[in-house]
Amino acid sequence: MPIPKSLPSLMSSLSAIISYHTMYAILCFDRPDSAPLRDQHRAAHQKFLNENSKKILFGGPLKNAAEGPSTGALIVVDCATRQEAETFIGADPFYRGGVYETVSIRAFKQVFPQARS
């Protein structure tokens, strides 16, 4: 891609790059009675998330009620391939420690709200 000579053409080039950005949504659902496992692996899980923060676009716990216990997680990651997303979640201490009963990985495209400049 040639180097843009003006701000509008730079913004247009960046917009084209962003519109083809590959993301994956990782939905994790806990095993029943997984609270002790969550407690056991929480520090390692938080360290893992911090070490991989550049790859994580957003994420957090899933809950049945706003103030209730965690029942899983949603993590949207910047990964070039599904295999990269699988490798990412496979390294998560919650995954390795048996917290999650099921994990679903889906390609994700943000369409709303539109990316903000």
Q: Would residue 115 count as lying in a domain?
A: no
pLDDT band at 20 (very low <50, low <70, confident <90, very high): low
Q: Would residue 12 count as lying in a domain?
A: no
Q: Would residue 99 count as lying in a domain?
A: yes
Tens-digit pLDDT profile for residues 32-52: 999 999 999 999 999 999 999
Residue-number span of the structural domain to which 88 is assigned: 22-108
CA 27 remoteness from chain centre: 9
Tens-digit pLDDT profile for residues 1-10: 555 566 665 5
What is the DSSP secondary structure assignment for residue 2, as one 8-state letter?
A: P
pLDDT of res. 28: 98
More confident residue, 19 or 72: 72
Query: Would you say residue 82 has pLDDT above 90?
Result: yes
Considering the entire predicted model, what is its pTM? 0.78
Q: Would residue 9 count as lying in a domain?
A: no
CATH of the domain at 36: 3.30.70.1060
Handedness of CA 90, 53, 30, 62 (dihedral sign): negative
Q: Would residue 56 count as lying in a domain?
A: yes
> What is the total count of domains within the chain?
1
Rounded CA gap, 61 and 59, in Å?
A: 7
Q: Is 109 exposed, middle or buried (0-12, 13-18, 19+ CB in 10 A)?
A: exposed
Q: Would residue 68 count as lying in a domain?
A: yes
Residue (of 38, 40, 39, 60) closest to 49 by Cα position: 60
Q: Would residue 114 count as lying in a domain?
A: no
